[in-house]
Structure 1
Amino acid sequence: MSEFSPSALGTREHWDAVYSRELQGFQEYGDEGEIWFGEGSMTRVIRWLSAQNIPLCSSILDIGTGNGMLLVELAKAGYNNLTGVDYCADAIALAKSICEKEGVSRSVTLQVTDFLGSFSPTQQFDICLDKGTFDAVSLDPDNAEERRLQYVQSLCRVLKPRGLFVITSCNWTAEELLRQFGKEFELKAELPTPSFSFGGQSGHSVTAMALQRRD
């Protein structure tokens, strides 16, 4: 499994500062902020869910929702039982403002909570989504390995048996993610991502895959 140097990207202080700026930018200029991995990453996930004939009423959790744009696009696609969590209060404030602006607030519940700690939903979810949050957890400067284990434990606590986990990562390969989650999950599908070639070698800068929780 790859190891990454500790980084500010793995700290709450970093994300508090990021979303404080982005919330201010939205309030002053209507700027919705950065979309992790670009708009194509959201389209890829939504297309895959649609292709699986996932019922629109399925309960879907966006882990580390940030500005909530993935939830907005899901709501526009017709999904109506959406939840987003983030430990950054300004991120949730920004997501709420964007959801209101886009007219999808009735389909979305947003909560300031720590997915690895305090988050305790009343019911388990049908689907959990992650677009970069596990990457950030993996860069925690204090104890990244322990935090990754906590992530898997938290995921199993909130996701139904046989539920789906769709993850997009720029830090981990598909093989590495399977080693991390494989005890509790099995591979459902690898989602196609853009490839690149360099020096006669080809690869993918982003990994996207769907895992299914074991019984």
Structure 2
Amino acid sequence: MQDTADLSTSKLGTKKYWDELYALELENFRRNPQDTGDCWFSDSDAEQKMIDFLVDNIGAYRITEDASVVDLGTGNGHLLFELHETEFQGKLVGIDYSEESVKLATNIAEATGVEDFISFQQADIFNSGWNPGKFDVVLDKGTLDAISLSGMKINGKLDVVDVYAEVVEKILRKDGIFLITSCNFTQDELIEIMQTEKLKPWKAIKYPVFQFGGVQGATICSIAFVKQD
């Protein structure tokens, strides 16, 4: 597994930070319904690339127009709102451990009239009792990045990064797809973290690369995994 000991803890990994951020964004939204908050990775167009990837791969594994989709660490729900505007008309669920995030996303859904198609729930995904059912597609846009900075331990010993793959496996149907975008981890590191006996790397999204000191790389990566037998 990825050794996260060298990853510094940060306020970005705390629930307090996100509660305060989304409480502010909810206040801003109530004052101005056009202000739905920030979109993570907008500078790299990652969100649109994730949506395009799913659209381009409709018919592969469990990616269908009526696929059930869950977004882990949904924030303001922007990814799901944009996904709903495409061919995807199945069950869309956003999960976040911030109550303020869920309030904000729910308010946006109600204001835009899509509350019958997209729902949001507050939950601690690392709670062993959490059981939202199984989905065809699981999404992560920066959530692993954030929780890796939390310093949280499961049962006082296991780093949350080390059990994240188990969480995804639990809620993903056989032949389901897990699509993750990260700016903290490389593609190789994501594979090391997420690959299990059942969860296998499938395809990666291409981003512009840079070269420095003779080494090529990208500032962001997205990779899809498929759950096999």
TM range (shorter): over 0.9
Q: Which runs of 5+ in 1 are unaligned?
A: none
Pair 1:204 & 2:213 matched: no
Give the aligned partner of residue 5 of structure 1.
8
Aligned equivalent of 2:118: 108
Q: Partner amino acid for 1:164?
A: I
Q: What is the TM-score when the length of structure 1 is the normalising length?
A: 0.92
Shift of 1:46: 1.1
2:26 to 14, 17, 23: 23
Give the fraction of aligned pairs with identical amino acids, expressed as a percent: 34
**Paired letter, 2:31:** E
Among candidates 33, 40, 47, match of residue 52 of structure 2: 47
Q: Does 1:151 align with 2:164?
A: yes
Change (3 A) 1:179 1:112: same
Query: In the alignment, what sits opposite 2:105?
Result: 95
Residues 164, 194 of structure 2: 8 Å contact kept: no
User: Residue deviations 1:124-174, cap 9 Å, x none?
Assistant: 101100001111111112439521123222111111122110000000001
Report what 2:130 is aligned to. Answer: 119
Deviation at 1:58, TM superposition (A): 0.5
Aligned counterpart, 1:34: 38
The count of corresponding residues between Structure 1 and Structure 2 is 214
**Structure 1 counterpart of 2:203:** 189
Contact 1:79 1:107 in 2 (8 A): no
How many angstroms apart in 1 are the aligned matches of 2:69 and 2:151? Answer: 30
CA offset digits 1:6-62 (Å, max 9, x no partner):
111111111111111111111122311111101721211111111111311101000
How far apart are residue 114 of structure 1 and its match? 1.3
Q: CA deviation at 1:200?
A: 4.5
Structure 1 residue 193: Cα displacement: 1.8
Residue 174 of structure 2 aligns with which residue?
A: 161
| Partner Cα distance (1:74, 1:170) in 2 | 21
Question: 1:187 Cα deviation (Å)?
Answer: 1.2
CA distance in 1, matches of 2:112, 2:181: 24
Amino acid across the alignment from 2:106: K
The alignment's TM-score, normalised by the length of structure 2, stands at 0.87
Task: Indicate the structure with greater helix content.
Answer: 1
Conserved 8 A contact 1:126-1:164: yes
Q: What are the ranges of 5 or more consecutive residues in structure 2 without an aligned counterpart?
A: none
**SS of the residue 2:159 aligns to:** helix
Range with greater deviation from structure 2 (48-57 or 130-139): 48-57
User: Contact 2:169–2:199 at 8 Å: present in 1 too?
Assistant: no
